[in-house]
Amino acid sequence: MELMERTFAIIKPDAVERRLTGQVLARIEAAGFTVRAMRLQHLTKAEAEGFYAVHRERPFFGALTDFMSSGPCVLLALEAPNAIAEWRTLMGATDPGKADAGTLRKDFGSSIDRNATHGSDAPETAAFELGYFFRGLELR
């Protein structure tokens, strides 16, 4: 029996605004992920800043948190064997112009800043990000 792993994902405001949520969710399920929790939420600037605190000193921090608080996004807890790596593969490279064909960012992202999706990059990151948005009772 394969060991299941959980990861955190966001369908970002650009994809929600362009009505791509259903297509992204369909691709997530077709790739074998189980959605364990999901919520539509319009992040406040403070919530975005807390979530991306690791990037606080980076030059793109202000623009990133402005964008992530610009409209609703879909927050997801996904489960699958090797979920973190598999979700990152499905998303594709951060820059849609460099992402592989058939990835979410290649198909739905419009720029490195508006790249449709977010995903945890390591088990520690996934634990923090899942806990940031979902209480334990939401993740049974």
**Annotated active-site positions, please?**
118
Q: State how far the Cα of 26 lies from the Cα of 28, in Å rounded to an integer.
A: 5
Of 114, 140, 133, nearest in space to 8 by CA: 133
Q: How many CA atoms lie within 13 A of 87 on its CB side?
A: 31
Amino acid sitting at position 47: E
First to last CA, the chain: 19
What is the SS3 assignment for 20?
A: coil
Of 78, 1, 85, nearest in space to 33 by CA: 78
Amino acid sitting at position 20: L
What is the SS3 assignment for 80?
A: strand
